[in-house]
Structure 1
Amino acid sequence: MSVNRENVRVYISNILGGLGETDRHIAEFILQQPAKVAQMPVRKLAETVQLSEATIVRFCKKIGYTGLLELKAALKRELLEESDLLLPSSPDIFLDDTRNDVAQKIALTVDTTMKETIGLLDMKVVKPVVERFLRANRVLFVGFGASGLSAMEARDKMNRQGIDSEAYTDRFTMTLKLANLKPTDLVVAFSHSGETPEVVNAFRLAKKAGAECLAITHSPQSPLTELADSWLLTCGSAGPYQGDSIATRISQLFIIEFLCTEVTRHNLRDSVSTGLSIKELLIKERIKHESTG
């Protein structure tokens, strides 16, 4: 499954926590000196970070580029288009901030989260994902803890779209219900880390039954994505303070809303009133249904 890597700094920042020590060292240097890296030959970069050229090339391939040349080309495009853009980061909140400062910083965190999530979406893979939702006999959303709330939100929204959906948020129910999966079912797992044992086990049961698996996770290199047929990335840092948890939650909710909207657009694609908004089309459909009901 591909992912949008054109937003190089957002992408690398998102996967940083899942990298090993050597790869993290390279990634951090790229984030700190993007303009310098964009101009460096592999030999110079290797000397600067005190690693071998082969290690640099392996790092580039490991994170999804064909090599340093492709990574540098993406960096150059990004820097040219957004020369004054800094790597997005959540603003720190201090004890002496005013209440208005706190409110503004939380709002900025939400805005940054939305933009980062869009930046991580590879739009080419959205269509086949939406088509899989439409083909599925049932969609089963799974999540544990805070991600369980997203699973329930997704269930409710997809049911309103006419897609038969269920949500499981505890170990016992996941194991019991997913034991009866069929190949026509779709299992969608929410896990920020991609390592939640209960959710990973749900995917193992799904694979055993031949059902398709979609992961919605922060980590593109995790036990969950190894089992997934496809995956979509979320952003945000999982933490107990400030805007961290709200960023993770907002990112998951954004993905849900985006997928539901794409399902709606698919269902209305044959409408002759293509100049109308989705809201206007839905109102017309409701009026038509009530008048014939």
Structure 2
Amino acid sequence: MAAIDNVLLKLREIKESLTPAERKVAEYVLAFPEDVPRYSVSKLAMKSKTSDASVVRLCKTLGFEGYRQFVVSISAEIASRAQDSGKEYTDIQPGDDLDTIIKNISLNNCRSIEDTLMVIERDSVEKAVELLRKAHRIMFYGIGASGLVCQDAQQKFMRINKICHAYTDGHSQLTSASMLTSDDVAVMISNTGTTVEIVDTLNTVKETDASVISITRYGKNILSANADVALFFTSPEITIRSGAMGSRIAMLTIIDILFAGVASMEYKNIKKYLDKTHNVLLDKHVK
């Protein structure tokens, strides 16, 4: 887990992976966060119709030493939210005018990036950058919208002369994965971390001893649990496609961070490739 703060955000993301009793506590806390700091363990258990043990277990699941630390974190986040009022996720409603759509989509995308910065771990990013630097080959795996992120990643890393490829369908992913070696890195991108094609590819990659970097929504999932390095993002749980848009923006942000990290650390060696690719594309502009 990342640093134990932003508890409400993290609670929202991991809610569905909790035990039934812990989920009941989580749902109450998310519904009435302002009330929780005033409650004892027993009162929160009563309000959520669970037990003292369930409340304590939820605190432990979130990485807190005890209930008091949990409550302090909630209080701090409520105060922070008050300062950021007007920046909450807003769904797009049928019939919204264009000005509202422009404003809300922009705010949702910005919020996805801000929230992702709260759950991504610096140490994990550092490990991922180091794996990518040393990789003989980098293979990006993703389905659907995650596949589009893979294609963006391939375009970026190709510019600094990294041997890389993006695979965006299940069959080609399995074929590619079976040919990896311990010198290669598989970057596996999935919103849920449970997509059938991605899990099948993960199982094949694990048989090759290639390193795995996962990029998934924050919380417990099959992909992140089996990755050598797990990177997390977060985005809104809202009904119209603005939710998927936020996820894509968050994933692209992580790819940009990884690319910039590798490029920065190897700048003396890769500057010539950046210049070369820039110049060859410059010639394609209409004069």
Query: After TM superposition, is the score higher than 0.5?
Result: yes
1:222 equivalent in structure 2: 221
Q: Name the CA distance, whole Å, in 2 between partners of 1:45 and 1:55.
A: 10
- Mark the runs of 5 or more structure 2 residues left unpaired by the alignment: 280-287
Whole-Å Cα distance in 1 between the matches of residues 228 and 85 of structure 2? 34
Give the structure 1 partner of residue 231 of structure 2: 232
**Residues 147-171 of structure 1 deviation map (CA, whole Å, 9 limit, x = unaligned):** 1111111111112233221111111
Task: Tell me how far 1:74 sits from its aligned partner.
Answer: 2.4
Q: Could you say what the CA RMSD is over the residues aligned between the two structures, in angstroms?
A: 2.8
Query: 1:86–1:26: structure 2 CA closer, same or farther, 3 Å change rule?
Result: farther
For the residue of structure 2 that corresponds to 1:181, the secondary structure is coil
Q: Separation in 1 of the partners of 2:139 and 2:127?
A: 18
Q: Which position in structure 2 is the counterpart of 1:64?
A: 63
Correspondences of 1:16-95 after superposition (within 5 Å): 16-85=15-84, 89-95=88-94
Aligned to 1:277: none
Alpha-carbon distance between aligned partners in 1 of 2:71 and 2:184, rounded to the nearest angstrom: 41
Is 241-250 or 60-69 further displaced after alignment? Answer: 60-69
Task: State the AA in 2 paired with 1:65.
Answer: F
User: Match for 1:176: what amino acid?
Assistant: T
Q: 1:4 and 1:248 mapped to 2: Cα distance? A: 21
Structure 1 gaps of 5+ residues are 272-280
* 1:116 corresponding residue in structure 2: 115
| Residue 5 (structure 1) shift | 3.7
Which amino acid counterpart does residue 62 of structure 1 have in structure 2?
T
1:113, CA displacement in angstroms?
Answer: 1.2
TM-score normalised to structure 2 length: 0.85
Q: 1:241 to 1:32 in 2, by over 3 A?
A: closer
Question: Cα gap change, 1:183/1:83 in structure 2, threshold over 3 Å: closer, same or farther?
Answer: same
SS of structure 1 residue aligned to 2:231: strand
Taking the aligned partners of 2:155 and 2:113, their CA distance within structure 1 comes to 22
Distance 1:249 1:9, change over 3 A: same
Residue 95 and residue 209 in structure 1: after superposition, are their counterparts in 2 closer, same or farther (change >3 A)? closer
Once the two structures are TM-superposed, the CA of residue 145 in structure 1 deviates from its matched residue by 1.6
Per-residue displacement from partner, 1:209-264 (whole Å, max 9, x unpaired)?
A: 11111110114211112211221112225777241221111111111111111222
| 1:201 alignment partner in structure 2 | 200
Cα drift, residue 207 of structure 1: 1.4
Partner of 1:137: 136
- Structure 2 CA distance for aligned equivalents of residues 174 and 36 of structure 1: 48
CA contact (8 A) 1:192 1:218 kept: yes
Q: Report if aligned partners of 2:140, 2:153 keep a CA contact under 8 Å in 1.
A: yes
Contact 1:161 1:260 (C-alpha < 8 Å) held by counterparts:
no
When residues 126 and 86 of structure 1 are mapped into structure 2, their CA distance, relative to the original with a 3 A threshold, is same
In structure 2, the partner of 1:262 is: 261
Query: What code does the residue aligned with 2:220 have?
Result: Q
Provide the secondary structure at the position in 2 that maps to 1:141: strand
Question: What is the match of residue 283 of structure 2?
Answer: none
Aligned to 2:285: none
Distance 1:87 1:7, change over 3 A: farther
CA distance in 1, matches of 2:37, 2:121: 23
Q: SS of the counterpart of 1:213?
A: strand
Distance 1:19 1:86 in 2: 29
By how many angstroms is 1:92 displaced? 2.7
CA distance in 1, matches of 2:118, 2:108: 15
Does the CA contact (< 8 Å) of 1:113 and 1:247 recur in 2?
yes
**82-91 or 212-221, which deviates more:** 82-91
Identical pairs, percent: 26
**Structure 1 residue 53: Cα displacement:** 1.3
1:246 is matched with: 245
TM-score, normalization by structure 1:
0.83
